[in-house]
Structure 1
């Protein structure tokens, strides 16, 4: 008798329960995540009236795979360039929110008498909003085109990165069991070091690899390669002491910068959905209903703290960043929930055995409640803003408006700011690369050479020379390369008293390069004489080969920037953001009344006050289209206008206009029919064109059989004769009335 492994039975049970609950939640129009959690509760060990999962250990492995793919998909939507572009408003809002919620969570936990570690993890759980829930709510409510939605998406991008940082910090804190400032500082430095290194290396290598293998890639191989890259980065992250989730997120964010990002996201979506479902089911399996009853009051307190705390902190952050009161209120009420990252942080506490058993189900319960409240809060945000505007003192509202207007104009940078920003960026990037080369040379290259090729002093010299060759272009860029020539020359020529600081900056750059070389040599030799001799030779070599190093470095930089900007160049769109208007993208539905009409016929500017900035049609971009340009199904149109203007014109794009019945007859009514013509038929002795079949029956004559001869796709001038057998595709309710009438 064949034996079925327990893992397969458990997996079948999980997916069956998930399938049933998700169908139910689809029917009642609720987030699928809650359906998965309910499924986990039903098949978990705490409810016994239906079959339950028995091999919990294997399910936890599946769930960890789910976390990996969930973070990989979040990385694909993240993109480091998006983080740079979100600007100060989103960054300030996110930082204020995270800091405030960390404090609120910690204080709430301590006030309820919880342990310090439970309170710290509660702060982490409450600090991150749910990207999945917010995007779904925005789509259902049709507010993605509104101005505040752009700010919310920017905040979510920053929060994703903060959540990764929190995972690292909480892991360090959980292992040390105490707040060690030095250890935390080094953990942050280590994280930043590897983030920069992986991003630079990934952007340089991965897009180049995908481009070189593009002709060999079909959907199957692209899927396999994408998952392989994800898991390789997971292995690398674990190897250096980080969580698998961090590695998956980093590889996703690297692939997000490639021209294949949309295709990879589409191909991996099914894999992510499967394993993410298992993860969320495993979340539900850990919930004990008894704990939820016992901790009903803490759940209520934490829910109120989450909604009020996130509304106030996000709204305050948006106000401080210079956003108007309306945008700040709408942003704060949109972010008032917790979600998938909160589950991951709660799971981390359980895995490391540093949090109490009740914290996890409480976090899930709060997430479920705030998921239900989120759409209602978003809908209520504008009325609540109007209430605040009427209630608050007029002087307060005027002061907020003045502050928002004044901060909106602060965009210029002085020469000093420009120069210092570039020097800092240059120093950090090249220092990270040089440190990585030094450690690779001393920890891996040298042992390999001495073990497999040449031992002794010769092996050391060869290892040192190879390391220095790899370091040379980056040493040149760190110490000698000219940065921001225009700003530098302005400061040097126009203000003599700035020459001292400029010379000091150049000396600092050279000193850092010399230190990097000394640090490398010290890994192999600890005598000062050897170090001085080697240093003299290296400096001389860099001066002699300066031009070649510059040319080689320029090629490296060009390749990196090409890979970094390839996706943006492919989908390049103009940025037009005047006054209180903003840019949004709408897709023309095939049934929309806009299809086939020219811009002059539509007159959207005259009727709605909206301007069309760009039309994207497949791979073709039409910036500032002319008046005679026509719109076609699935065109992506970039519109610029206010929230109200965009909302009004948005209905046209959806194709909800059903004024005539002809556009709405069921697809099943379109059939292929055989009709026999006789002398009493209305179309007898008429040409196909004269008969009006196309106009009256929405039909098309595809074939005629006459005297045993078949005519495929007959000409429209062909005359119908007696006993013609006509094959016609059209509306089966109208064809008989026209052709069979006697």
Structure 2
């Protein structure tokens, strides 16, 4: 017992230290936790802190349950349903491309149908934690494409619930077709029951959990989550889907904000144990056998993500920079891929599934932050003809939804079609810009005299508008960004 406690404490402490070190260089925590588990587990030569990974099975399961429960509590159902048709199309394209590519790769590997379905899910669902973290660290929260990225992530989470319900009877190895159909109906019936509970039973759940003391609320909450997860397992549905759905129920109660605050530290601690425990099950000798399939999977994911980014940018009228931002920000894979791999291992599928998903997650968790940070260098891959953007002249920039100088956009039209200063000086210009504060028409930065910028430096009028036909984009000299109204609002400029 003492040795077990020392091993658990030591490996969790080292995982936290490595994650803290990784955060300094912009790396997500999930691969750090996995790496510690791999390096200090029984499958790697050298020191072993936890000899028997199965000893942590219950704690790891609790981490999985709390991870999915917190996701359900945070799920913004109203925001998703009110996001409009284009967002659902964009998310459908993203999920469809990645899942289809994953399924094709899974069948090409020849590991089995069940394995192909797990690979499809692992390749198809991005890491919301990694994507959100990248948006914050890269300071892109005000970019025009950011609400779309967040919307895609949320719809992915919704898709995860249905995919887990579909996968459960497959992993349970239903015998005949009739047994499979029965198991599938049970899985979706359980989903419908919990959806109904979320719709009409939130008040009852609120009364069950309500307590003025945070200690008692936390105890009641954990008890309910674990109970529902256990019932889900009993009826042939994974504990993950049970936890996710009861989280959706709690999200509709008046206790939502308190529960979010209470479950967050519990989720972080036990989720770390879950990822470490997954790493402990990986034998480094098995990684070489899956290196080529992982390399192919990573390239396929990069291609499908970039394709989905271009389609999304075209749907919303974004430019090349926004297209690459979308595709590369949601490139990372993490917690959900590992959850699927854990379910596959528990179901006794091909032993290569664990090493494959582990190495795949590690590769993309490292590649995603590096590529997303350099997204501007990938804009040359996106030809103008693929997009309908009106901002092609400044294709290396992205658009902001919250320029603080929009109150100075007073003039949007003019009959002037020359740069008068260039005319007076006998010079020429390339393109014309309209000062939206005073209405001055002057030449652009590609022109020899750059009168528009000189006007800004003299008068400090921040926002200009292009006067080129079909290119009515606006640019803020102060913020150095393109300006666009928030999504869903009509533009006031012509």
Same fold (TM over 0.5): yes
Contact 2:195/2:249 (8 A) holds in 1: no
Contact 2:314/2:387 (8 A) holds in 1: no
Q: Per-residue deviation at 1:27?
A: 4.0
What's the CA shift string for 1:106-155, capped at 9, x where partnerless?
22233334333322221111010000101111111010121211111111
- Change over 3 Å in CA distance of 1:647–1:369 after alignment to 2: farther
Q: Does 2:114 match 1:117? A: yes
Match of residue 366 from structure 1: 360
- Please show how residues 636-647 of structure 1 align to structure 2 within 5 Å: none
Q: Does 2:384 match 1:392? A: yes
- Change over 3 Å in CA distance of 1:52–1:332 after alignment to 2: same
Match of residue 425 from structure 2: none
Contact 1:145/1:646 (8 A) holds in 2: no
Q: Per-residue deviation at 1:187?
A: 5.1
Q: Per-residue deviation at 1:581?
A: 7.1
1-structure distance, mates of 2:11, 2:188: 41
1-structure distance, mates of 2:336, 2:53: 22
What's the CA shift string for 1:662-681, capped at 9, x where partnerless?
xxxxxxxxxxxxxxxxxxxx
Structure 1: gaps of 5 or more residues: 402-579, 585-602, 610-641, 651-742
Which residue, 240, 250, 257 being the options, matches 1:255? 250
Match of residue 534 from structure 1: none
2-structure distance, mates of 1:218, 1:303: 48
CA RMSD of aligned residues (A): 3.3
Considering only CA atoms, is the larger Rg found in Structure 1 or Structure 2? 1
- Change over 3 Å in CA distance of 1:9–1:55 after alignment to 2: farther
Contact 2:37/2:278 (8 A) holds in 1: yes
Contact 1:83/1:154 (8 A) holds in 2: yes
- Change over 3 Å in CA distance of 1:166–1:320 after alignment to 2: farther
2-structure distance, mates of 1:314, 1:178: 41
Match of residue 176 from structure 1: 174
- Change over 3 Å in CA distance of 1:112–1:227 after alignment to 2: closer
Contact 1:90/1:152 (8 A) holds in 2: no
Match of residue 484 from structure 2: none
- Please show how residues 163-242 of structure 1 align to structure 2 within 5 Å: 163-174=160-171, 175-176=173-174, 182=181, 186=185, 189-207=188-206, 213=210, 216-242=211-237
- Please show how residues 414-493 of structure 1 align to structure 2 within 5 Å: none
What's the CA shift string for 1:27-72, capped at 9, x where partnerless?
4442111211111012211124213312322212211111001111
- Please show how residues 305-454 of structure 1 align to structure 2 within 5 Å: 305-316=300-311, 318=312, 321-326=315-320, 327-354=322-349, 356-385=350-379, 387=380, 391-393=383-385, 397-398=387-388
2-structure distance, mates of 1:209, 1:101: 41
Match of residue 131 from structure 1: 128
2-structure distance, mates of 1:125, 1:199: 28
- Change over 3 Å in CA distance of 1:375–1:54 after alignment to 2: closer
Contact 1:311/1:332 (8 A) holds in 2: yes
2-structure distance, mates of 1:111, 1:150: 35
Contact 1:319/1:325 (8 A) holds in 2: yes
Q: Does 2:19 match 1:22? A: yes
Structure 2: gaps of 5 or more residues: 391-398, 411-472, 482-494
TM-score (norm 1): 0.50
Match of residue 39 from structure 2: 42
- Change over 3 Å in CA distance of 1:90–1:208 after alignment to 2: farther
Q: Does 2:56 match 1:59? A: yes
Question: Relative contact order (alpha carbons < 8 A, sep ≥ 6): 1 or 2 greater?
Answer: 2
- Please show how residues 87-166 of structure 1 align to structure 2 within 5 Å: 87-166=84-163
Match of residue 459 from structure 2: none
Match of residue 492 from structure 2: none
What's the CA shift string for 1:423-451, capped at 9, x where partnerless?
xxxxxxxxxxxxxxxxxxxxxxxxxxxxx
Match of residue 80 from structure 2: 83
2-structure distance, mates of 1:151, 1:646: 26
Q: Per-residue deviation at 1:13?
A: 3.0
- Change over 3 Å in CA distance of 1:328–1:100 after alignment to 2: same
